[in-house]
Each structure stands twice: as structure tokens, then as C-alpha cells.
Amino acid sequence: MDTTNIPTHIAIIMDGNGRWAKQRGLPRTDGHRAGTETARAVVTRCRELGVKHLTLYTFSKENWSRPKDEVSTLFKLLTTFLTKEEASLKKQGIRLKVLGEIDDMPMAVRQVLKHVMRQTKNCTDMTLNLALNYSGRDEILRAAKALAAKGIAADDITEEAFADELWTAGQPDPDLIIRTSGELRLSNYLLFQCAYSEFYFTDIYWPDFSPEELEKAIAELGNRQRRFGKTGEQVS
Ligand code: IPE
Ligand code: IPE
Ligand code: MG
């Protein structure tokens, strides 16, 4: 594939695990398990392609309202995934970050997250952000509160100052947001950061999404002209 135009930051809404499982007459949790394998492959491919920031929507604040069993399975799968992948992440030079409040998560998850973040904090090849217990609106409110708490003057509240209070502080906005499973919505994802992101939607359920599908999305982005408010002539 053409690797001259690799997006710096890709964000993914990994959706469709439940429907993937249902289609096969399996419990939803089997879909989540299969989705974990996809995540592993996509992380590796992104890092190989030279993507510098990858953000995976792993668990939204709204997902707390799912059946208790499903929520606990999701956290168990995450714990297993991180435990298994720790060495590999380190070897690949991937730094783990969490977008969301860690302290509201079950103890076992919290521990493994903190451990892997510590272990990978000096990795520089790629940052893997897991949006966990995440809500875009909540993130914006949190930033507003943080600025207020600092007693910052109204005139000093710039876009940069605001962005510095988001979970993504210091990272560029996503160039590309991918959502699988055919749903055409953002579901409270990266609301501040997506101002000029390109969107890519596919009907494929997350467990069937592959590194090849990822490359398709990247190639499609290469065919688009990002104008940022300018005219096409100004940009080309
Ligand atoms: C995405 O798959 C995983 C999470 C939201 C945690 P879903 O579980 O939402 O799958 P569908 O949308 O029900 O098919
Ligand atoms: C968004 O998917 C959250 C994650 C992928 C973790 P959902 O499946 O929860 O989104 P809605 O509820 O269909 O909008
Ligand atoms: Mg869903």
C-alpha cells in the first residue's frame, strides 16, 4: 500500500461485536472476545504503518447501563488483553494511555492499566489511547471546570488552553475517525477533537474488521481533499 499519506492520528469506534455474535447464534460476550483479536491486529498494523496515535473507543460512560454480566465480561477481557499484551506493546514501542477516569473502574482493571501505562511510558513509536469510561461531553465539561478552578481570565481561555485540559492533551486531533457496523453516529466520541476529522463508515462488524480493511480506510482518506475552510484551489 501507499505509505506516503499515513494519518498521524486514527480514532476508531469499534462497534458491532454483539450483532456479529448474534448472527452466529453466539452470546454477545463471544463477539467481544473476537473483537479483542481484531484490536490486537489493528494496533500492530497501525504501528507498522507509522500511525503515531491510535484511539480505540473501548467503553463509553453510557455502556455502564448494559447488563451487569456484559459489563463485567468487558472488563475481564480488557484485563486479560492488557496482561497478555504488555510485553508486546513494549517491544513495539507503544505507549498506553487512557482517556477517561480510571478510578471509577473495577480494581483489577485499574491495577493493570496503571501497570502497563507505567511500563510503556517511555515508548515513542505510537501512542495507544483507550477511551474508557469515556464521554465526550463529560470531557468538555471537565475541561471547563479545570479552567474555572485555575481562576483563568476569560480572555485567556483559548482553544489551546482548552485542549490542554482534555484527556488528549498534547496529542493532535484525529485525522480519521472510523466506525464499523453500519451505524452513522458519533456516540459521544471525541466531540471537541473531531472538528476537522474525516469520517469513514463501514458496514463490517468489528470482529470482521481486518488490517486490510484499515488500509482501505486509509487509502480512501488519501482520495479526499481536506480544505479546513479554504477553497479547493487554495489547497491544491
Ligand atoms: C462494541 O460492540 C463494543 C462496545 C460497545 C463495548 P457492541 O457491543 O456495541 O455491538 P452491537 O452494537 O451490540 O452489535
Ligand atoms: C460506542 O458504541 C461505544 C464503543 C464502541 C465502546 P455503542 O454500541 O455503545 O454506541 P450506541 O449506543 O449504539 O450509539
Ligand atoms: Mg454497539
Domain range list for the chain: 9-137+173-235
188 contacts: CB under 8 Å, gap ≥ 6: 60, 61, 62, 134, 135, 136, 137
Cα Rg, the chain, nearest whole Å: 18
Q: For 18-46, write each residue's pLDDT tens digit.
A: 999 999 999 999 999 999 999 999 999 99
The answer to whether 11 and 46 are in contact (CB under 8 A) is: no
Do the bridges between strand 176-179 and strand 126-134 make them parallel or antiparallel, or are there none, so unpaired?
Answer: unpaired
Residue 186's pLDDT is: 98
Q: For residues 226 and 213, give the distance between their C-alpha atoms in angstroms, rounded to a whole number.
A: 22
Residue 49's pLDDT is: 98
Q: For 78-109, write each residue's pLDDT tens digit.
A: 999 999 999 999 999 999 999 999 999 999 99
Residue 10, Ramachandran bin (φ over 0: left; ψ between -120 and 50: alpha; else beta): beta
Q: Which residue's C-alpha comes closest to atom 3 of ligand 1?
A: 15
CA-nearest of 171, 168, 162, 169 to 141 is: 162
- CATH code: domain 9-137+173-235 is 3.40.1180.10
Please report the sign of the dihedral spanned by the C-alpha atoms of residue 56, residue 127, residue 136, residue 68: positive
Residue 3's pLDDT is: 83
Pocket test for ligand 1, best of 12, 13, 14, 15 (most atoms within 8 A of CB): 15
Residues with CB under 6 A from ligand 1: 14-19, 59, 63, 74, 181
Please give the grid coordinates belonging to residue 20: 456479529
Q: For residues 128 and 138, give the distance between their C-alpha atoms in angstroms, rounded to a whole number.
A: 21
Select which of 2, 5, 15, 138 is catalytic. Answer: 15
Residue 98's pLDDT is: 98
Q: Which residue's C-alpha comes closest to atom 9 of ligand 2?
A: 63
Do the bridges between strand 94-99 and strand 53-60 make them parallel or antiparallel, or are there none, so unpaired?
Answer: unpaired
DSSP state of 97: E
The answer to whether 1 and 219 are in contact (CB under 8 A) is: yes
The edge-to-edge listing of strands for the beta sheet with 94-99 is: 94-99, 126-134, 53-60, 9-13, 176-179, 198-201
Residue 4's pLDDT is: 84
Q: For residues 132 and 130, give the distance between their C-alpha atoms in angstroms, rounded to a whole number.
A: 6
In this structure, which ligand is nearest to the CA of 77? 1
Work out the mean pLDDT of the chain and round it to a whole number. Answer: 97
Residue 113's pLDDT is: 98
- Collect the ranges in the chain with pLDDT lower than 70: none
Q: Which residue's C-alpha comes closest to atom 14 of ligand 2?
A: 187
Select which of 5, 30, 63, 173 is catalytic. Answer: 63
203 catalytic per annotation: no
Instruction: Kindly give the distance from the C-alpha atom of residue 81 to the centroid of ligand 3, in angstroms, as a whole number.
Output: 20
The pairs formed by 197-202 with CB atoms below 8 angstroms and a separation of 24 or more are 197/11, 197/173, 198/224, 198/226, 200/176, 202/178
| Beta carbon of 13 within 6 Å of any ligand 2 atom | yes
155 catalytic per annotation: no
Q: Which residue's C-alpha comes closest to atom 13 of ligand 1?
A: 18
> Ion ligand 3 — residues with CB under 5 Å?
15
